Each structure stands twice: as structure tokens, then as C-alpha cells.
Structure 1
């Protein structure tokens, strides 16, 4: 892998692997000089999106009762949840579901567990890995929590985390344990009990509360620290947490590029800075707009509230180009294990931005086709037939993931691992 003039490397060899398969019949006899069908089934890399818009469809609710966290009551599927689901599954293999506490448990003791669990199981049945977001966050902390004395509120936080991680264990074993810890102690937009605790205990102990409460409830859970502040201050938070003995499984990075694409060089520099911790990186939230850009003078993206923010032909062409550049940069970096695009449709896009890959009526933007061309085209092993050699061997090579080998009605799945060459013996009897 080489880097030219400080730019991200273009080689993706570190994402590929090769498995040499020896094919035998039921009785162990080699199957030489025989045509065998090979098709890729899944990617190892996490190509994700939020699954908010499909929660009601997964629960077979008609008409949809879209989750409030999607920021809209509009049917993102253009009236057809099945079509939205088809488009979603054609791109993504990883779903993030909303656990914003104030909406998940607006009344203390009455969490929305049944509905979210049904949705999580639905995604899992479709071969999608599911992540919960977030377990602890100052924004959307329930008002009833602030009414408690600090010690009682802290106990409630621990209990909430432990309950939800335990309730979803085996279906959701991957969580953003804490969201946006950098701003947490100084957050002033709204009074909340999580900021109050952080001001008293400090950000390290607040992060510890989230991680250790989750780990106790599910020791096998993968727990992520997550932030939009990609400055050295976030590096400081991570350093202090690791030095304090907190086990962080991955580092989450957010970038909603409503004011324009950061560019390959800047994104690569960010990835390099956070890769120094030796932990996997997740681009947990990312988006690019297909309309006019948000003015550069806006500091808090939430402060931009235009009456309308339409997608434009020029913006859609720009978005299609930028999404390819962005994903190629992320996949090229060896520390990145997943990227989550923040919303498939403009109908429920965050802040009303035209950042989806579908228009409000459900039609596809050029960016959808461009991304599909990468994930299921350039980075995908097209189905085809290969012939075994005289020793019954064939080589399966491509992007790391699961591949299916078929012969005369018999089939088996194998794994291709990134950066490795493996040797397997598989039985494909009649």
C-alpha cells in the first residue's frame, strides 16, 4: 500500500483474501475438473445505515408510526415500506437502532423494548448485524431523570444501561456506550442529569459508568465511544479513559458534512490521528447533502433551520461524486471497520437536510447508484462458475466476507479473511 503526496492510498489489498478450497464428494473422493458455482454472500466490512425508518415496517404496523428519533412523521418509503426495505438491504449489512432515552422510556419504567426488540430480530433474520445507539447521552436524557437527586439519577443510569444491554443480548451485542463525551460536562443547551453527573464526577468516571455497566450486563458486548468533536480534545478524552483502565472496543467518529465534503486529505488525517490508539475505527455517523450547502458561518448544525432544503440536480451530481471519494478513503484505511450512512431517505433526514440517497418520493438519487456500484459492484465478487483443477482445488479470492460454493444441488459457505490465505476441504455431494 502506498501513499502519494500525503493522500490516502488507493490499494485495497488489505481488504482482500484468498481461500483455497479442496472439493470432495460425500465419500471423500476428490472432484477434479468440475465446474463449481461461487457467489459472494456478505461483506466482512460493515456498510451500515440507521434502521429508524423500518422499525414500524418490521413490526407490521400500518400505517407507519415513524420513530420520533427520525425527526419526521413522513413515510420515507413513499407509501411502500417493502420498497424502502428492498433498497436498504441492497446496500447495507449493518443497522443502527435508536435508544435515545427520553424517547425510548418517556415514562419511567415503561421502555419501548418490545417494539425495538422485534425490529432488531427482523434485521438479524435478514443477515444484518444490529447496533444500539446510544446507551448514555446528555441530549434526550429523560426529564424525569433530572428531577432525581444526583445519586439516585446515577443509579438510574446504571440500571437503564444494564437492563437494556441484558434485554437485547444475543440480538444487539454492539452499542455506542456513550455519545459525545467531549461536550458533555460543558453542555448548556438544556439542563440534564447526565451533564450534572459529569460536572460532578468528571468525564472519565461518566464514561466508566457507561462502559462498565454495559460490560457487566453482557461481557461479550462490543462497546464504542462516539463523538462528533474530532479535535485533539476527543483524543485527550480517549487517552484519559484508556489510562484509567476503561476497556474501549472501538472508537466512533462522526462527520455530517452539511457544509461540504471535508476531502480525502482531511478525512485521512482524522483517521490517522485516531488510529494511533490501536483500536478499530467506526465512522458511526456520516452524511453528504445533495442540495445547497449549509452556510459556513453556522457553528452548531442545529441552528440552521431553512423553510425548505431541497435536493438539486447539481447537488445530486456532487453528492454522487463525493460519496464515492469518501467511501474509498474510509475503506482504504486499515483501521476502519465500518461506516454508517446517516439515513437512506430525505423524507426523514436529520435536520431536514437533503442528505439521503433516496428522494422523499422514494426514487433513487445518483449517489445511491454510485454507492451500490462500489459495495455490490467493484467491491463484490460477481456470481460465476470456476473449474476445479486436477486435485479438486479452486481458489476463492476477493473482499473479505462469506462466499457460497455450489455443485449439483449441494452448497456450503466459506469465509475469506482479509490479508490471509486459507486452505479448506469442503464436501459437495450430490
Structure 2
């Protein structure tokens, strides 16, 4: 019972009055409540979905990618797609809209919530911005948001609006258009402009501010944004742990500090490797990209333990609404790090099995109850989507925090091999 009490905010009770098509109560019948999806967002960076959806790779490669993505679909309900401007629109006026739309639709058809990442970032931004004045760069960035947010509305209704603003104005690795305009506008200024423009073209979207910097500087920036009236829907926290697992103490300390704002928290880019750790003296993670970074049995066992602990801590925290691992597969992973849940050959790691047991086992609901003489039945379960199955018939519904009594009608639509 201890774990259930800790997870009370992830669960709800529901009372249902079950009637048949004529309105007669369904008495003394066995009812199965089978969860089909979580309300909590368990996700990964899944850039390979672009190739799978567009089928624009050789057949053997496509079959390999499909095998990996099928394993993703067994556990996860949330995916991040890449909108890095340099790759999305390498030539001005020729965005990869069709390809990304196909991927977003493919995921949505499989009941996966999709997030776009990111709309504004100084890294991997369009190189052709450098030929423009700062005023023209800002107009181009606005036009990019208008186009992409409008084009993907209904397919992608969640965005990392602006990425890594703490370092943005002082970024000095190379010249880029976005750092230029962030210098003009200031940190809070550029965030305000980008959020306003995104909100204008999708008022119902969930908009995130995202950063790898978890110091007080990010806290100050968020506070400044809120003081300026910027409607941030969720705080994005990157947790790339190539140099070692944060551990419970740091994780809980970060959660405590960023909970002060009372906003939903997403762990947007979570990395736990199943290989050797990056040397501690590396400051910019991009500076360490070895030729070979193998996944080993010893370190896979470590990764599995860290995944189990970290996900359990985050799922228990009331403000955390989603966790995205970066990424699902070791094949093509960022920096070549073995940070996925499946190896380069698509075989699942222990971390995959551990997470599947948590998400589809410990934190999943599948219970059977009996209706009373009034057709009333109650159950308690984890928040999310459900099928109610009774007498070979099915009703789908969403279990949310509201605990009102619902009237549900069993229709003649039957499940399994029965008549539809």
C-alpha cells in the first residue's frame, strides 16, 4: 500500500452506471477495466519515425527501423520529432514539411502524443540567416513559427518553443542568427516574443521553455518570464547524464527548486548510458565523441538500476508530467553514446525490460469487478485511457482526476472475434 499512497495523485476512482441499449441496468455482470494508455507522458526522441513513415530508405534498413519502432510502441505514448531549422529548412523556402507531417500523422495514428523540438534555438539554426540583418532574422524566425505551428496544428500541439536561452546570448562557439537577435532582445525579451508568436497560431498548444542549465540562472530566467507575464505551460529540464547519474539527492534537489513556480515539469531530454562514462573534465558534452562507445553487460545493469530509480522518483512527483529519453535506440544516438533502451542491433537492454515492467505492469491497471443490482460498478486505477469490457462489448473512456458517476451504455458493437 505504501507505493500506492505515494502515487495517489496518479490514480483516481470512478463509479459507473452501466445500462444496455434500452436503458436497462446491466446487473450482476463481470466488468473488466483494461487500461490502454497512460495520462502521464512516457516518451523518447524518435527521429527514426521520419524514415519509417516516409519509407524513404532501403528495404532492409526500413525493416530494421520498423522492428525498433515496434518495440517503442510496446511501452511509450509520447515522441519528440526534430525541427532543427538547419535540417528542417536547409534551403530557404524549402522546408521538410511533408516528411515531418507524415511522421507526425503516423505517430498520431498509433495514439502517440507528438512534440516538436525546437522552434527557436541558436544551435543547428538556419545558416542562411547570417546573410540577413537582425531585423530580417527576427522576421524570418516569426515567419518560421507562423508557418510550422500552423501547418502542424492538430498533429503537433506541444512545442519546445525556445531552447537553451540561458547560454543563448553569450554562445560563442560560432556566429549564428539567433544569438544575434537574442543579444538585441535580451533573454526574457526573446522568450516573450517567441511564446507570443507560437500562442498566436495555436492558442491551445502546450508550450515549453527548455534548458540544460539547471543552476539558479535558469530559475532567475523563469522567474523573470513569469514576472513579465509570459504564459509558460511547462518547464523543460534536460538531464543528459553522460558523465554519470545525478542520483536521488541531486534529482530531488532539482525538483524542489523548480517546483517553486508551481508549473508542470517535463524532463525533456534524459540520458543514462549503458557504456563508460564521459570524463568529468569535459565541459561541453559535444567535445567528447569517441570513435567507439560500446554498451556492455556491466554498464547495462547499471543503466537499468538508474532508470528504475529515476523514473520512480519522477513519477512520484506531483508536478512532473512527462519524461523523454534521448533517445530510444543506440542506433544514431546523440554523440554516439549508448543511451537507448535497445542496442544497435535492436535487441532490448535490461533497462527496456525494467521500464516495461513499471509502465505496463506496476503502474498499469487491469481489474475485474461485478455490477450490482442497479448496474453500478466502481474501480480505482491509474489515470489514462481505458476499455470497459462486459459481455463481449466494449466502451472506451478516459479516467481523469474527476470522480463523478458516469452513465455508460453498452452497444451492440462487439470485440474480439464477435460481430462488429
TM-score by length of 2: 0.95
- Identify the residue that residue 70 of structure 1 maps to in structure 2: none
- Please say if 1:410 is aligned against 2:383: no
List gaps (5 residues or longer) in structure 1. Answer: 3-7, 65-73
1:252-305 superposed Cα distances (whole Å, 9 cap, x missing partner) = 000111111111121111111111111110001101000111111111111112
Conservation of the 8 A alpha-carbon contact between 1:145 and 1:153 = yes
1:394 to 364, 374, 377: 377
Aligned to 1:69: none
- The answer for the alignment partner of 2:49 in structure 1 is 54
> What is the aligned counterpart of 1:428 among 388, 410, 413?
410
Contact preservation (8 Å) 2:30, 2:391 = no
Aligned residue in 1 for 2:153: 169
Aligned to 2:210: 226
Matched, 1:19 2:14: yes
Greater shift, 127-136 or 49-58, is seen at 49-58
Once the two structures are TM-superposed, the CA of residue 9 in structure 1 deviates from its matched residue by 11
Aligned to 1:204: 188
Q: Return 86-95 or 405-414, whichever deviates more.
A: 405-414
Paired residues of 2:77 and 2:113 also in contact (CA < 8 A) = yes
Mapped to 1, the partners of 2:291 and 2:96 lie a distance apart of 32
What is the alpha-carbon distance in structure 2 between the residues aligned to residue 171 and residue 401 of structure 1? 20
The aligned residue for residue 68 of structure 1 is none
Q: Is the partner of 1:396 in helix, strand or coil? A: strand
Is it true that 1:289 corresponds to 2:245 in the alignment? Answer: no
Is this contact kept in 1: 2:238–2:269, CA < 8 A? yes
- The residue aligned with 2:350 is 366
Q: How far apart in 2 are the matches of 1:359 and 1:179? A: 28
Distance 2:291 2:385 in 1: 46
Number of aligned residue pairs: give it: 412
Alignment of 1:301-316 (within 5 A): 301-316=285-300
CA distance in 1, matches of 2:155, 2:5: 36
Partners of 1:10 and 1:332 within 8 A in 2: no
1:146 touches 1:193 (CA, 8 Å); kept in 2?
yes
Secondary structure of 1:422 counterpart: coil
Is the Cα contact below 8 Å between 1:21 and 1:394 reproduced in 2?
A: yes
Matches for 1:324-343 after TM superposition, within 5 Å: 324-343=308-327
Q: CA RMSD in A?
A: 1.8
Q: Distance in 2 between matches of 1:206 and 1:131?
A: 21
The alpha-carbon deviation at position 360 of structure 1 amounts to 0.4
Is structure 2 residue 334 aligned with structure 1 residue 350?
A: yes
Tell me the equivalent position of 2:263: 279
CA distance in 1 between counterparts of 2:411 and 2:226 reads: 51
- Asked if residue 98 in structure 1 is aligned to residue 76 in structure 2, the reply is no
Instruction: After superposition, give the CA deviation of every residue in 1:27-53 in whole Å (9 maximum; x if it has no partner).
Output: 111111111222101100000111201
Deviation at 1:10?
7.8
Contact 1:256 1:288 in 2 (8 A): yes
- 1:25 positional shift: 1.1
Aligned residue in 1 for 2:138: 154
CA contact (8 A) 1:406 1:428 kept: no
**1:124-163 pair list within 5 angstroms:** 124-163=108-147
Aligned-pair distance for 1:200? 1.8
User: 5+ unaligned residues in a row in structure 2: which ranges?
Assistant: 413-420
Report SS of the residue matched to 2:331: helix
Distance 1:348 1:91 in 2: 20
CA apart distance, 1:333: 0.6
CA contact under 8 A between 2:145 and 2:198: conserved in structure 1? yes
* C-alpha separation in 2, matches of 1:82 and 1:197: 41
Q: 2: distance between equivalents of 1:59 and 1:144?
A: 27
Alpha-carbon contact 2:369-2:379 (below 8 Å) kept: no
Give the Cα separation in 1 of the matches to 2:87 and 2:243: 29
* Partner residue of 2:284 out of 279, 300, 315: 300
Distance 1:220 1:16 in 2: 25
